[in-house]
Amino acid sequence: MAAVFIFLIGWTDWIDGYLARRLNQVTNLGKALDPIADRLMIASAVIGGLIAGVVPPIIAILLIVRELFMGVVALILATKGAGTLEVRYLGKLSTFILYGAIPAFYLAEAGFLEPLMTTLGWIGGVVGLALYWWVAFQYVGDARVKLADVEFPAIAEES
């Protein structure tokens, strides 16, 4: 059942974002809250799966560490008054892949097409994690630019 909820949450999140962009209903509040909601959903599914022995520890730990890392980056931006990061397409793609990989591990544990779901979970987990970490480093670059704009506005305007 957990796999179904994770899948539905992922799809409704995608539909919500698609409709907001398509109907020109994007807001700054939505831009700030959507990534937080994504992170909380992934973290809860991963931590619950780690505790239950459903999600492989290497995947769970790398996901949790990445979430903590990006949480620190977001906190630094907020405390410096630098705003939020613009979501990158690669960030959306990696989140989408992980929204598929995590439920696959849950389905495999439940005995639903276990060999296939385990394989899909590992493929999606590895690919999703690689992209997730890659985009995290891109976000760090974005954060550095935003911090430079706040701390040294004259220099940022000249470049």
pTM, rounded to two decimals: 0.76
Question: pLDDT of 95-151, one tens digit each?
Answer: 889 888 999 999 999 999 999 999 999 999 999 999 999 999 999 999 999 999 887
In this model, does residue 157 exceed pLDDT 60?
no
Per DSSP, the residues of 88-110 read PHHHHHHHHHHHHHHHHHHHHHT
pLDDT tens per residue across span 68-101: 999 899 889 989 989 888 889 999 899 889 888 9
What is the band of 40 on the pLDDT scale with cuts at 50, 70, 90?
A: confident
